[in-house]
Amino acid sequence: MNAVIKVGGKQYYVTEGTEIYVEKINANVGDVISFDQVLMLDSKVGSPYLTNVTVEGEVLKNGKQRKITVFKYKSKDRSNRKKQGHRQPYTKIKITKING
């Protein structure tokens, strides 16, 4: 079964056994999470969500992604050059079951 779920304002195409990286969720490693905002299941499309359909997943890891460099620059103004770094926190989830 294939599904499209909405997590943290983003949409993810998942099947059973898929591992996805989503924005940080307050859950511990090993917890089972249920997603009820299912937008599509196989060929059924919700408006906006399907009813009586859930996707379950297991939390594998909580962490931070690799550091990215952010430059802030204004042309012809040498005093305002800034270099910043950012590491986005994430949660890695393995989809275990799609009910529907």
Q: What is the pLDDT of residues 6-27, one digit of tens each?
A: 999 999 999 999 999 999 999 9
Q: Is residue 5 predicted with pLDDT exceeding 90?
A: yes
The pLDDT of residue 18: 95
Q: What is the pLDDT of residues 27-44, one digit of tens each?
A: 999 999 999 999 999 989
Residues 32, 41: Cα–Cα separation, whole Å: 20
Q: Are the CB atoms for 9 and 37 separated by under 8 Å? A: no
- Angle CA(92)–CA(95)–CA(100) in degrees, nearest 5? 145
Which amino acid makes up residue 76? K
The tens digit of pLDDT for each residue in 49-87 reads: 999 999 999 999 999 999 988 888 888 877 777 888 899
Domain count, the chain: 1
Q: What pLDDT shows up at residue 55?
A: 95
Spatial neighbors of 57 by CB under 8 A, at least 6 apart, are 20, 32, 33, 35, 93, 94, 95, 96
- In which domain, by residue range, is 83 found? 2-99
CA angle 57, 43, 21 (to 5 degrees): 30
